[in-house]
Amino acid sequence: MQMNNLDTLPKKKILSLFMTCGFPTLSQSKKIFNEMLSHQPDVIEFGLPFSDPMADGPIIQEANKLALSSNLSTQQSLNLIKELSKSKNNTSFVIMCYLNTVRKFGVDKFIKSIKNIVDGIIIVDLPFEEESEIKKSLSKNNIHLIKLISPMTDKKRAQKLLKGSKGFIYYISATGITGSNKLDYKEINKNVKSLKKMSKIPVLVGFGIKSKKDVLEISKKTNADGVIIGSALIQKYFDLKMDINKYLIDLRKFITEVKV
């Protein structure tokens, strides 16, 4: 079995970049991911577009809608990820998706398609209570099921969720949907510290991280091992009036900046 890149994440200052597959179009999406890959971030999260992304904010929903407007299929997204994996090197590939996408594709077929390509998967709406079956097949294929922990998750529940978990812990920094609310560093630090006592794997903070400043503050003011940036990357595309060439230049600048 191949090595899982998530098992060799650096100890500190981990950078994970999220981007919706097929956004804004399939061919432009490839350019965007190639740009991201050229920076060799520690993790790239591939969002599989879903018509009803209820745990995501309006920016990612809009990205999903754009991607789906050209009838992008799950298979096309998976093909794209496979193609990109040829130049993944040490970058961990993680898929972020909703359960209906996996179920409809076929759980076994899905796992088979991403085996040896993808290191981890976040199924946003698959709670701990429902995960056992999928988790087993994933683990057989050396794909880590990444756990989300929210500020609402109490200690007892977090312990249950994190038992035997691998890869990293995705800590949702704001009690909010992706790309909203302000960051409360004190609360983040308190919760991250508590999580680090429960598990040895890195804790990444996501949701609401928008700038180099946010990245530095997280690193300075909290005990987190890294950050996840998603909505902010996508927002730029809309800010630049959907000009893909300008966007690619801006993306390069932004990633260079946040890669501290």
Partner 1 sequence: MKTYKQPSTVGRFGEFGGMYVSETLMPLLLNLDKSYKKIQKDKKFKKELNDLFKNYVGRPSSLHYAKNLSKYINGPKVYFKRDELNHTGAHKINNCLGQILLAKKMGKTRIIAETGAGQHGVATATVCALFGLPCYIYMGSKDIERQKPNVFRMKLLGATIIPVESGSKSLKDAMNEALRDWIKNVRDTFYIIGSTAGPHPYPKMVRDFQSVIGKEAREQILKVEKKLPDYLIACVGGGSNAMGLFYPFLNDKKVKIIGVEAAGRGAKTEETAATMTSGTPGILHGSYSYVLQDNDGQIKEAHSISAGLDYPGVGPEHSHLKDIKRVKYFGVTDKEALEAFQTCSKLEGIIPALEPSHALAYLMKAFKNKHKNKVVILNMCGRGDKDLFTAAKAIGFDADE
Residues serving a catalytic function are 45, 56
Q: To the nearest whole angstrom, how small is the minimum distance from the Cβ of residue 11 to partner 1?
A: 25
Q: Residue 41 or 206: which CB sits closer to partner 1?
A: 206
Altogether, the residues listed in the chain come to a count of 260
Q: Does 238 bind partner 1 (CB under 8 A)?
A: no
Q: Does 175 bind partner 1 (CB under 8 A)?
A: yes
User: With helix as H, strand as E and coil as C, how does the chain read?
Assistant: CCCCHHHHCCCCCEEEEEEECCCCCHHHHHHHHHHHHHCCCCEEEEECCCCCCCCCCHHHHHHHHHHHHCCCCHHHHHHHHHHHHHHCCCCEEEEEECHHHHHHHCHHHHHHHHCCCCCEEEECCCCHHHCHHHHHHHHHCCCEECEEECCCCCHHHHHHHHCCCCCCEEEECCCCCCCCCCCCHHHHHHHHHHHHHHCCCCEEEECCCCCHHHHHHHHHHCCCCEEEECHHHHHHHHHCCCCHHHHHHHHHHHHHHHCC
- Of 46, 98, 247, 254, the one binding partner 1 (CB under 8 A) is 98
Q: Please, which residues bridge with residue 14 across strands?
A: 226
Closest CA relative to residue 43, chosen from 255, 236, 257: 255
Q: Residue 54 or 260: which CB sits closer to partner 1?
A: 54
Span near partner 1 by CB under 8 A; candidates 79-87, 176-184, 243-251, 252-260: 176-184
Q: Residue 130 or 239: which CB sits closer to partner 1?
A: 130
Span near partner 1 by CB under 8 A; candidates 1-9, 101-109, 134-142, 192-200: 101-109
Strand 43-47 relative to strand 92-97, pairing: parallel
Interface characters, 124-143, with partner 1 (x: CB under 8 A): xxxxxxx-------------
Q: Residue 192 or 251: which CB sits closer to partner 1?
A: 192
Q: Residue 83 or 130: which CB sits closer to partner 1?
A: 130
Instruction: Enumerate residues 143-162 that contact partner 1 by CB under 8 A.
Output: 147-150, 152-154, 157, 161
Instruction: Enumerate residues 46-75 that contact partner 1 by CB under 8 A.
Output: 50-52, 54-55, 57-58, 61, 65, 68, 73-74
Q: CA triplet 65, 68, 69: central angle to 5 degrees? A: 85
Span near partner 1 by CB under 8 A; candidates 31-39, 83-91, 174-182, 195-203: 174-182
Cα 239 to the center of its chain, rounded Å: 22
Span near partner 1 by CB under 8 A; candidates 36-44, 118-126, 132-140, 234-242: 118-126
Q: Residue 25 or 142: which CB sits closer to partner 1?
A: 25
- The contact set with partner 1 (CB under 8 A) reads 50-52, 54-55, 57-58, 61, 65, 68, 73-74, 98-101, 103-105, 124-130, 147-150, 152-154, 157, 161, 172, 175-177, 180-181
